[in-house]
Structure 1
Amino acid sequence: MALSRNPHRGQDGVSPSEAEERHLPAEAIDSHAHLYFDRFNDDRDEVIERARDAGFVAIINIAVDEETSRQVIQLAMEHEGFCHAVVGVHPTHSGMSADDLKITLAAVEKLCDEHPQQVVGIGEIGLDYYWKEVSRADQERAFIVQLDIARRRKLPVVIHCREAWPDTLEVIETHGDGVVGVFHCFGGTVDEAQRALDLGWYVSFAGNLTYPKAQDLRDAAAIVPLDRLLLETDSPFLAPQPKRGKRNEPVHSLHTADELARVHGTDRKTVLSATTANSRGLFRLE
């Protein structure tokens, strides 16, 4: 990407803060982004290029329904080997009849068959009790069916859980045998983080970890060992504190990595090395 020069930028055309983000001591992976959102329509390729320039080796884009499942696959095809696709139906998009759900998830499974090189997981799936538009019964039905899809296809799952921790954990413990995954954008307690770890699953943190009032999140992050941590943005949402109020993008996850490093008493390089290895292992990235 060609960057314009101006007197406030360095010799390579970037500001000092941008240069710090570009020259990393370790590779990085954004394990959860939504770069298909309209908010990226004007500069999507530039956003991806900024991540590449900053040392990122992969971005995993997560779908929320059948249409966006196709979109994340398209992104993975356009940016082969760098962008990867996770397909599925988000709990807030699961409000449909049993017959319609069957048709929708059959289409999602067909995408897995047609694009095995691009699809690396099922998600984001789970339970969301914050929004009230979709019944808990509909959400649970879609959740259970998609856990079964993941089991049969030997794919990891990406879990969305909002104000539904007891039920989410119960569904996984009851119906998730043989399935492994990650609790994305973790927002639970220390005890809930421990239960996720007891399942043998991963825990991922986003930019809200850096917010001044997020001490409970930092306490939870402190008990998650480095070999169970993932790094994410949830772009375009939840920009970290230094970028708060702006559109989030993968390169901003470096601020979250710095916060994880502080919580664990280590450095950015160690956190990035661990989270990159964990993402590669969970999603079987080469």
Structure 2
Amino acid sequence: MLVDSHCHLDLLDLVQNRDSLDAVLEAARHRGVGHFLCIGVSAKNAASVKTIAERYVDVDCSVGIHPLDLKNNKMPTFDWLLNELNHQRVVAIGETGLDYHYEPKTAKLQQVSFDMHLQAAKQTGKPVIVHTRNARADTLAMLREAALPQAGVLHCFTEDINMANAALDLGFYISMSGIVTFRNANALRNVARQIPADRLLVETDSPYLTPTPHRGKQNLPEYVRDVADYLAILRGESFERLAEQTTKNFKQIFPLAHLKPALV
């Protein structure tokens, strides 16, 4: 069984696909996906991800502010974040982090927001989900300074092996998305081969970054099976072994997740 460790269920275009979230999740279950982590990206969607998690027994969620959601210098307060995290289906913080590729002008504000999430992680003990792009040095520096007592994850990893190793040294996990299947992703594939089995996660980042062979379509949670199949071949191991290990890893990093006993 698999876990889609990072998906945006509230952002799916349901009309384009199966007209209901019930159908989308059921299709994923038929492909062996046993649990889903629905990710918060803004103050606006915090209620949406919690509602989805409350509705489905195999969905948990996170709450946080994406670095690209800090428009017009607006950022929720620390008290708001703590209050939103105080929910039994919120098992993680984020996604948060730094993105200097799309929003270099808001770098300072992003750092303030990222630090707020890291402080919330220290206070609540919940793991942090990190988005980073073109911000390697600052991301690692802030993670080192935070010295979190619990693990976190660098999601949708696209960086080099040096950053992966630095994150692993800090106790972080590395999550691979459909990008690893892209034709021009040879450097990332080299990284994926080297991630320790007990630190690897798989995700879709649905509805974005659709893996091969579904390019051109909206990404769906069921396609995490394609990511896992590809990674298993790439790493020279069986799908069953990779699925079992990444599910075990998910439970390790997200201990509050409501996984079925058969998945633990």
Q: Which stretch shows the higher mean deviation, 246-255 or 137-146?
A: 246-255
Aligned to 1:8: none
Structure 2 residue corresponding to 1:83, chosen from 46, 52, 59: 59
Distance in 1 between residues matched to 2:112 and 2:14, nearest whole Å: 32
Q: Secondary structure of 1:203's match?
A: strand
Distance in 1 between residues matched to 2:232 and 2:69, nearest whole Å: 35
Q: Does 1:43 find its partner at 2:17?
A: no
Distance in 1 between residues matched to 2:38 and 2:206, nearest whole Å: 9
Aligned to 2:226: 255
Structure 2 residue corresponding to 1:158, chosen from 116, 129, 132: 129
Q: Does 1:108 find its partner at 2:108?
A: no
CA shift in 2, pair 1:238/1:156, >3 Å: same
Aligned to 2:262: none
Q: Does 1:232 find its partner at 2:208?
A: no
Structure 1 residue corresponding to 2:70, chosen from 69, 91, 94: 94
Q: Which runs of 5+ in 2 are unaligned?
A: 260-264
Aligned to 1:223: 194
Aligned to 1:28: 2
Identity %: 35
Distance in 2 between residues matched to 1:28 and 1:72, nearest whole Å: 20
Question: What do you get for the CA RMSD once the two structures are aligned?
Answer: 1.5
Distance in 2 between residues matched to 1:70 and 1:149, nearest whole Å: 19
- TM-score, normalization by structure 1: 0.85
Distance in 2 between residues matched to 1:84 and 1:243, nearest whole Å: 26
1:141 Cα deviation after fit: 0.2
Q: Secondary structure of 1:29's match?
A: strand
- TM-score, normalization by structure 2: 0.92
Q: Which has the larger radius of gyration?
A: 1
- Structure of greater relative contact order (alpha carbons < 8 Å, 6+ residues apart): 2
Aligned to 1:139: 110
Q: Which stretch shows the higher mean deviation, 159-168 or 33-42?
A: 33-42
Counterpart code for 1:55? G
Give deviations 1:230-278, integer Å, cap 9, x for gaps.
Answer: 0000000111110011101111111111221122111111111111111
Distance in 1 between residues matched to 2:110 and 2:162, nearest whole Å: 24
Q: Which stretch shows the higher mean deviation, 44-53 or 223-232?
A: 44-53
Instruction: Show structure 1 runs of 4+ deviating over 4 A.
Output: none
1:102 Cα deviation after fit: 4.8
Q: Does 1:242 find its partner at 2:213?
A: yes
Q: Secondary structure of 2:139's match?
A: helix
Aligned partners of 2:152 and 2:172 also within 8 Å? yes
Distance in 1 between residues matched to 2:72 and 2:26, nearest whole Å: 38
Q: Does 1:66 find its partner at 2:77?
A: no
